[in-house]
Amino acid sequence: MSRIVAVVSGGIDSVTMAHHLAAEGHDLQLMAVDYGQRHRKELEFAAATAVRLGAPYEQVDLRSLRGVMRGSSLTDPSVAVPRPDRPVSGNPNIVPNRNAVLLSVAFALAVTVQADAVAFGVMAEDVGPSDTSPEFLRRFLAMERVATKGSLTPEVELLAPLIELPKTGVVALGERLGVPWAQTWTCFRGEDLHCGACAACVERRGAFADLGITDPTVYREAVVPQ
């Protein structure tokens, strides 16, 4: 059994990862970050995961980063969340360098709680952005082993247990683990209901449909945009 700081957003991937690590018997410390994201509603689901798993929970307040990380639909109110059926130029749903910031904080917490590893919920379809790639994770871990030398075990790990699973694989794993899907949040808009039309909602709906699993999520738009 290892002590692991698990970075949990409240979404399907990170919540499934937390359930997976708990099922393996690890001693978990859950951590979520409020970085001023438009969909900060997700944080209440991260906290609920910690309660459900009986794990300590740390919510880090980095809301001032919203002003630094401008230009993304996730952090900048002036940038609309696009719909997949109405393509726009660029990658407005990506926050460059965000994961480097989140993981730095996670390793700081790992020092505090003397963890053996940090776990991050990236999955197969996430490896496009540079800060979710296997290369990034390898190099980041190498950097952190230098940064935490003398404070953490030299063998400290950065785990990405879902990185080879597509979204359907994550949902299938979560289904086996009994993840309560209604207690997860995906929508980029962060309103009272999942919008059903942003890229994250469409991906979520598609994974459940492809597996033939009932999706308990209530969507504002009943029909998936084509």
pLDDT digits (tens, 9 = 90+) for 67-122: 898 888 888 888 888 887 666 656 778 888 899 999 999 999 999 999 999 999 99
Torsion on CA atoms 127, 134, 2, 100, rounded to nearest 10: -80
Give the C-alpha separation, 31 to 112, whole Å. 13
Query: What mean pLDDT is predicted for residues 36-41?
Result: 93
DSSP letters spanning 64-82: THHHHSTTSTTT-TTSPPP
Longest dimension (CA), the chain: 54
The model's pTM is 0.93
Give the C-alpha separation, 159 to 12, whole Å. 17
Residue 202 falls in which region: left (phi positive, over 0), alpha (psi -120 to 50) or beta: alpha
Task: Parse the chain into domains and list their residue ranges.
Answer: 3-189
In the predicted structure, residue 31 carries a pLDDT above the cut 60 = yes
Q: Which pLDDT tens digit goes with each residue over 169-212?
A: 999 999 999 999 999 999 999 999 999 999 999 999 999 999 99
Give the C-alpha separation, 131 to 139, whole Å. 10
If pLDDT is split at 50, 70 and 90, which confidence band does 224 have?
low
Mean pLDDT of the chain: 92
Other CB atoms within 10 A of residue 3 CB: 14
In the predicted structure, residue 136 carries a pLDDT above the cut 70 = yes
Give the C-alpha separation, 98 to 101, whole Å. 5
Q: Are 61 and 37 in contact (CB under 8 A)?
A: no
The confidence score (pLDDT) of residue 88 equals 63
The confidence score (pLDDT) of residue 117 equals 98
Residue 27 falls in which region: left (phi positive, over 0), alpha (psi -120 to 50) or beta: beta
Q: Are 40 and 81 in contact (CB under 8 A)?
A: no
The CATH number of 3-189 is which of 3.40.50.620, 1.10.3720.10, 3.30.70.1560, 3.40.50.720?
3.40.50.620
